[in-house]
């Protein structure tokens, strides 16, 4: 690992113990400086000192990049400078004092290879770009890859993992599925179990829309309009309504459980519910939900609208909540919590950044 150490290791154990005051500096580059990238910068500016005291790790942001360029400071931005970057207008990091207009990942990596690459660019499920090229570049250069962007893993999960393994780097992706809730960590704890069925509500936007339809008795197009106004749905919510987001998440879940599945293997039905469907389900004691289902080993996967009993675990997950139920034969495990939002997503990225350097944390 290339992380610089500021203090001599504890001679007896051979590692720096944060409990004894050793601090290691870890260089971080953030690609994608919109809602999530900026929230991570804010989090590091406000909580960096606390992280350093608790874990003996000093995260130094050495570069942030948006679609038009980058801002680079090889010795790392101070907390104050990070907050100045956060204030830059959208697409404007290259207009700041550290700005490099037109710089993409290649120029940034020529200047400085980070220890951790954070990917917070938008997903593109046909090409995977720019996240896919970023993922390969990062791991081949020996940077740990921590991502909120699902597309690279939904399209090339094993290729990225194999390349990362060859280069001895970590791939962290807690922020991609149920970002606010540690589902990915839990799935890793289920290795070796047989997987009978995973079913979940993994897309907050469609769950919010269906909750609105039921509560306000509005049709789909009105509910979408309200969700956009409320800031829950993107102005162009097609990735959610057509099921791409949920499909990418069930693919990531499957592969984490060792079940090899690609995005094109998922049977995907868009959200096409009418108010009549929602009312009819309610009259019979059910709720219409946008479900993502993995049918055990070899059984395939699908995403689409489906009815669940109103009082069931999934039935009770309303609004922007996510929920997942995993049947492993000897047990059924349920988990629910916030699916996204920039704050919880930035926390998930930070948690993965610490996981990437876990060898240096106290046991
Ligand atoms: N928002 C959430 O709650 C949430 C939750 C979980 C996961 N995620 C995922 O996290 C990622 C970021 O989400 P977000 O809400 O922060 O999106 P966003 O606000 O749209 O920000 C995306 C950022 O990526 C930049 N970008 C686009 N192409 C780039 C390139 N080639 N190189 C470098 N930067 C590039 C954009 O640049 P410009 O500023 O110049 O346009 C923008 O700064 C997405 O993949 C999203 O699906 C989001």
Lowest mean pLDDT among 18-27, 226-235, 297-306: 18-27
Pairing of strands 144-147, 171-172: parallel
Angle at alpha carbon of residue 234, lines to 335 and 90, rounded to 5°: 115
Q: What is the DSSP letter of 89?
A: P
Q: Note whether 180 and 39 are within 8 A (CB).
A: no
Q: What is the dihedral of CA 33, 34, 36, 42, to 10 degrees?
A: 70
12, 78: one domain = yes
pLDDT score, position 42? 98
CATH assignment of the domain containing 62? 3.40.50.720
215, 159: one domain = no
141, 44: one domain = yes
85, 159: one domain = yes
164, 28: one domain = yes
160, 236: one domain = no
- Whether 21 lines ligand 1, by a CB cut-off of 6 Å, is no
The residue annotated as part of the active site, out of 141, 249, 276, 338, is 249
Mean pLDDT of 295-322: 94
27, 118: one domain = yes
Question: Cα(81) to centroid of ligand 1, in Å?
Answer: 21
- Whether 340 lines ligand 1, by a CB cut-off of 6 Å, is yes
- Whether 92 lines ligand 1, by a CB cut-off of 6 Å, is no
166, 303: one domain = no
- 181: in domain: no
- 310: in domain: yes
- 80: in domain: yes
Pocket test for ligand 1, best of 43, 65, 148, 174 (most atoms within 8 A of CB): 148
Q: Note whether 143 and 2 are within 8 A (CB).
A: no
Taking only the tens place, the pLDDT of each residue in 119-144 is 999 999 999 999 999 999 999 999 99
Taking only the tens place, the pLDDT of each residue in 82-118 is 999 999 999 999 999 999 999 999 999 999 999 999 9
- 42: in domain: yes
235, 97: one domain = no
Does residue 249 carry a catalytic annotation? Answer: yes
Angle at alpha carbon of residue 121, lines to 359 and 46, rounded to 5°: 55
- What's the whole-model pTM score? 0.94
Q: What is the domain range of residue 108?
A: 4-176+343-360
349, 223: one domain = no
158, 231: one domain = no
Ligand 1: residue whose CA is nearest its atom 32: 67
Taking only the tens place, the pLDDT of each residue in 241-267 is 999 999 999 999 999 999 999 999 999
Residue 21: band (very low, low, confident or very high) from pLDDT cuts 50, 70, 90: low
Taking only the tens place, the pLDDT of each residue in 193-251 is 999 999 999 999 999 999 999 999 999 999 999 999 999 999 899 999 999 999 999 99
116, 197: one domain = no
* CB atoms closer than 10 angstroms to residue 7: 12
Question: Cα(37) to centroid of ligand 1, in Å?
Answer: 7
| Higher local confidence (pLDDT), 235 or 47 | 47
Question: Cα(290) to centroid of ligand 1, in Å?
Answer: 24
- 62: in domain: yes
pLDDT score, position 13? 36
CATH assignment of the domain containing 208? 3.30.360.10
Angle at alpha carbon of residue 232, lines to 229 and 235, rounded to 5°: 60
Percentage of the chain with pLDDT > 90? 89
Residue 16: band (very low, low, confident or very high) from pLDDT cuts 50, 70, 90: very low
Number of domains the chain is built from: 2
């Amino acid at each position: 690992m290339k992380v610089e150490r500021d203090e001599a290791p504890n001679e007896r154990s051979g590692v720096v113990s944060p409990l004894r005051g050793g601090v290691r500096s870890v260089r971080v580059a953030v690609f994608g400086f919109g809602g999530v990238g900026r929230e991570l910068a804010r989090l590091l500016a406000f909580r960096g000192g606390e992280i350093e005291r608790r874990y003996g790790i000093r995260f130094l942001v050495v570069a942030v990049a948006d679609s038009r360029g980058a801002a680079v400071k090889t010795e790392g931005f101070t907390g104050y400078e990070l907050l100045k970057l956060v204030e830059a207008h959208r697409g404007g990091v290259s207009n700041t004092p550290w700005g490099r207009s037109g710089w993409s990942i290649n120029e940034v990596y020529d200047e400085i290879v980070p220890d951790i690459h954070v990917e917070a660019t938008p997903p593109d499920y046909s090409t995977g770009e720019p996240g896919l090229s970023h993922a390969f570049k990062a791991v081949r250069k020996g940077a740990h890859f921590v991502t909120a962007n699902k597309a690279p893993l939904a399209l090339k999960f094993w290729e990225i993992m194999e390349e990362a393994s060859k280069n001895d780097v970590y791939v962290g992706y807690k922020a991609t599925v149920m970002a606010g809730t540690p589902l990915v960590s839990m799935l890793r704890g289920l290795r070796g179990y047989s997987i009978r069925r995973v079913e979940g509500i993994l897309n907050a936007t469609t769950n919010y829309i269906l909750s609105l339809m039921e509560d306000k008795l509005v049709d789909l197009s009105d509910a979408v309009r309200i969700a956009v106004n409320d800031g829950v749905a993107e102005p162009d919510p097609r990735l959610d309504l057509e099921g791409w987001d949920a499909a990418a998440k069930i693919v990531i879940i499957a592969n984490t459980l060792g079940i090899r599945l690609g995005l094109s293997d998922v049977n995907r039905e868009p959200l096409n519910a009418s108010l009549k469907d929602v009312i009819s389900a309610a009259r019979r004691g059910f709720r219409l939900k946008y479900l993502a289902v993995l049918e055990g080993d070899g059984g395939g996967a699908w995403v689409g609208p489906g009815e669940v009993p109103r009082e069931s675990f999934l039935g009770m997950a309303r609004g922007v909540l996510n929920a997942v139920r995993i049947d492993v034969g000897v047990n059924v495990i349920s988990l629910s919590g916030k699916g996204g939002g920039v704050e919880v997503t930035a926390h998930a990225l930070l948690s993965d950044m610490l996981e990437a350097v876990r060898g240096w944390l106290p046991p």
